[in-house]
Amino acid sequence: MNIDIEARIKALRDDLHAHNFRYYVENKPSISDYEFDMLLKELEALEAAHPEFLDPNSPTKRVGGDLTERFAKVKHRYPMLSLSNTYSIEEVREWEGRVKKGTNRPITYACELKYDGVAIGISYHQGKLERAVTRGDGETGEDITANVKTVRAVPLQLLGKDFPEDFEIRGEVFLPLAAFAQLNAQRLEDGDEPYMNPRNTASGTLKLQDSAIVASRKLDCFLYGLYGEQLPANEHYANMQAAGTWGFKVPSAAQKQIMLCTTIEEIESFIDYWAEARFNLPFEIDGVVIKVNDYEAQRALGFTAKSPRWATSYKFKAQQVSTVLERVTYQVGRTGAITPVANLKPVLLAGTIVKRASLHNADQIEKLSLREGDTVYVEKGGEIIPKVMGIDLALRPVNSSPLEYPTQCPECNTLLLRTEGESMHYCPNTSGCPPQIKGRLEHFISRKAMNIDGLGAETVAQLYNEGLVGNVADIYDLRKEQLLPLERMAEKSVTNLLEGVESSKAIPFNRVLYALGIRHVGETIARKLAAYFGNIDALSNAQIDELSGVEDIGEAIAVSVRDYFADAQNMAVIQRLKQHGLQFEQAATSASISGTLSGKTFVVSGVFQTYERDDLKSEIEAHGGKIASSVSGKTDYLVAGENMGPSKRKKAEDLGVKIIDESGFKALIQAL
């Protein structure tokens, strides 16, 4: 008997370790949160009943740590605990019963939403934001102040003067659904894989080194807990209302995002309300949280090892329906990436009719061992498009056959390629595959790229079908007499179009670079490459090691850039665009203070006394210097702060790179 139990415990531990890895490291969970929680609960119960099989490294022994090497570690003043959770109303009732038994005074509960994001603790001193720290392992978190400061909902300076001198406020940073959808649309457009869900994206975003990218992601934040010695009230609800008047985004009582309840019936009706109403929220929640309102009563109830007894959470199961997978179709994007799409028998899910679901890539189809005609489970997560989560094998039609992932492009029949380590297939026929050609033209003229007024997607398709444009340089050869005979092309629209083409010649280099549509080169990367290399000739001659030495440019981007410029057809198009007078050189920015550091390359590492790291980098750029992420033979200076990794210093010493500290840097900009 015990042998079976020991084997089950081991199997559960192995499984949960593997799922944790898929979720936190690979960003590719293969089971739902509910299934994960059920496995974890089974393991917790078995371990509690069989302490003889104790393992300090069991998945039950950790509270989802997120510690990495790159941020300074900060010990929490008040430990950052997690919440007990349940999917059963019955267990909420039992919890409420225990709370009532545990104190002898009347109990009021504050019911709130369980925001699905990343927990954060922010400390304020005299009304000014001082520091923002992640949960980490609950005892120690990471200092991500620079990134949190970019979140608009987080006040840097408080309103009024009624706040305590020192306090900490905790809450959840999350990515609203619209921002998530927009980000993924952009990633597909840039030839990058879409992100899995808003929660993981928010967490990954907060861990980025470059807070300029964090700022562009439109994160949001709700605050739900106040900690300190001189709080205005002795109750949670009143304190949150007060925090609202200081400028924090706190759950709105008017919208029932927080509600005081005194009975279990009221708690249950709060849960029932949000089980439906959650689908109308512009962000994801995964349940509700119920807290004892009075701090005295909270203290009396106390904590278990991991979570407070005075609070619990009820989690919603993700909404799932089953339907028939009628057909899998394959879309070809601008960069040649192939996206499989599940075409479903229409079905009602969480208030909308679902006809299509995303399948991501070949791996996922294989993992699910999907076949056309299968009955599939479809789940609505944060994405606007739902996901296929699993299949009901019992309902598989007898005559079905395994899906064969296409080996040829569905549009131009070219053999598809799949690069080692990438999960997507690509059609390599860049110059001859119609959706790729049209997609590139559309991208080139789009608002964030060349912003050509008078030329939209429909006109591009028309010009392509008429044989007037086959690549982006052809746009600049268009003449009035070619356009006038075309359908829907009156004198006025032709003039508009040609004027739009003409004025696009003034668009700055970084946007021209973005407009070229190099795979993985989105707006931010284009800006970095333009700033670092200064002109197209330097960029097109750069080799992999130089490219990947630029901040935020990894190996995949470097390879993609190098391959793009190694292609003679691309170079010919660029040559023609140059002749037409487009900008292929970075103009001096108005923000630049001087050119004293011009031609010098810096690596910045560690924590500084008088600068935020990003401000130091901006200062270097403002004086004409360049920033690289890693030390190489091309580095002139390593600016070393506290807690800098020893390997960076050693490499700089080995290569004879000058190492300067903060005051050395200040001396440098003055001396040069």
Which residues carry out catalysis? 114
Q: Which residue's CB is nearer to ligand IVH, number 117 or number 625?
A: 117
235 binds ligand IVH (CB under 6 A): no
- List the x/- string, 430-469, binding to ligand IVH by CB under 6 A: ----------------------------------------
Q: Which residue's CB is nearer to ligand IVH, number 112 or number 210?
A: 112
Q: What's the CA angle centered on 587, arms 581 and 588, to 5 degrees?
A: 160
- List the x/- string, 394-433, binding to ligand IVH by CB under 6 A: ----------------------------------------
Q: Which stretch binds ligand IVH (CB under 6 A): 113-121, 389-397, 478-486, 620-628?
A: 113-121
- Which one among 39, 99, 119, 542 touches ligand IVH, defined by CB under 6 A? 119
Q: How far apart are CA 454 and CA 432, in angstroms?
A: 26
Distance, CA of 208 to chain centre:
10
Cα 476 to Cα 236, 250, 252, 516, 590: the distances in Å are: 64, 53, 54, 14, 29
Q: Which residue's CB is nearer to ligand IVH, number 170 or number 334?
A: 170
Tokens of 656: 């004879």
Nearest approach, Cβ of 224 to ligand IVH (angstroms)?
Answer: 4
CB 312 within 8 A of CB 380: no
- Site residue total, ligand IVH (CB under 6 A): 16
Q: How far apart are CA 179 and CA 195, in angstroms?
A: 12
324 pairs with which residues across the strands?
A: 375
Is the backbone of residue 635 left (phi > 0), alpha (psi -120 to 50) or beta? Answer: beta
**E-state strands within 333-489:** 338-349, 352-358, 375-379, 387-391
Cα 571 to Cα 108, 261, 262, 451, 566: the distances in Å are: 70, 68, 72, 22, 8
- Max intra-chain CA distance, the chain: 89
- What is the sign, positive or negative, of the torsion defined by CA atoms of 576, 580, 581, 586? negative
Cα 445 to Cα 400, 567, 625: the distances in Å are: 45, 22, 32
Nearest-CB residue for ligand IVH: 119
Q: How far apart are CA 404 and CA 415, in angstroms?
A: 14
Q: Which residue's CB is nearer to ligand IVH, number 112 or number 142?
A: 112
Site residues for ligand IVH, 641-660, by CB under 6 A, read none
625 binds ligand IVH (CB under 6 A): no
> Pick from 363, 359, 333: which is nearest to 426 by CA?
333
Q: Which residue's CB is nearer to ligand IVH, number 113 or number 424?
A: 113
- Which one among 95, 109, 115, 426 touches ligand IVH, defined by CB under 6 A? 115
Nearest approach, Cβ of 84 to ligand IVH (angstroms)?
Answer: 8
Nearest approach, Cβ of 311 to ligand IVH (angstroms)?
Answer: 5
> Pick from 43, 56, 52: which is nearest to 10 by CA?
43
Q: Which residue's CB is nearer to ligand IVH, number 71 or number 310?
A: 310
Return all residues near 236 (Cβ < 8 A) that are at least 6 apart: 110, 225, 226, 291, 292, 293, 294, 295, 298
Tokens of 370: 């999907």
DSSP class per residue in 395-427: G--TT-------SB-TTT-PBPB--TT----B-
Return all residues near 366 (Cβ < 8 A) that are at least 6 apart: 405
Q: Which residue's CB is nearer to ligand IVH, number 151 or number 445?
A: 151
- Which one among 47, 66, 142, 172 touches ligand IVH, defined by CB under 6 A? 172
Nearest approach, Cβ of 232 to ligand IVH (angstroms)?
Answer: 19
Nearest approach, Cβ of 248 to ligand IVH (angstroms)?
Answer: 13
Nearest approach, Cβ of 253 to ligand IVH (angstroms)?
Answer: 13
Site residues for ligand IVH, 75-94, by CB under 6 A, read 81-83
Nearest approach, Cβ of 179 to ligand IVH (angstroms)?
Answer: 18
Nearest approach, Cβ of 478 to ligand IVH (angstroms)?
Answer: 55
Q: Which stretch binds ligand IVH (CB under 6 A): 107-115, 360-368, 379-387, 635-643?
A: 107-115
Nearest approach, Cβ of 186 to ligand IVH (angstroms)?
Answer: 27
Q: Which residue's CB is nearer to ligand IVH, number 119 or number 133?
A: 119
Cα 648 to Cα 342, 414, 629: the distances in Å are: 48, 45, 10
Site residues for ligand IVH, 283-342, by CB under 6 A, read 289, 308, 311, 313
- Which one among 224, 283, 426, 509 touches ligand IVH, defined by CB under 6 A? 224
Site residues for ligand IVH, 517-576, by CB under 6 A, read none
Nearest approach, Cβ of 258 to ligand IVH (angstroms)?
Answer: 8
112 binds ligand IVH (CB under 6 A): yes
- Which one among 13, 19, 76, 114 touches ligand IVH, defined by CB under 6 A? 114
- List the x/- string, 125-144, binding to ligand IVH by CB under 6 A: ----------x---------
Q: Which residue's CB is nearer to ligand IVH, number 225 or number 336?
A: 225
> Pick from 380, 259, 257: which is nearest to 316 by CA?
380
Q: Which residue's CB is nearer to ligand IVH, number 313 or number 446?
A: 313
Helical segments of 103-176, H only: 145-148
Cα 265 to Cα 271, 272, 288, 462, 497: the distances in Å are: 10, 10, 15, 63, 65
Cα 101 to Cα 95, 104, 297, 301, 305: the distances in Å are: 10, 7, 12, 10, 20
Footprint of ligand IVH (CB under 6 A): 81-83, 112-115, 119, 135, 172, 224-225, 289, 308, 311, 313
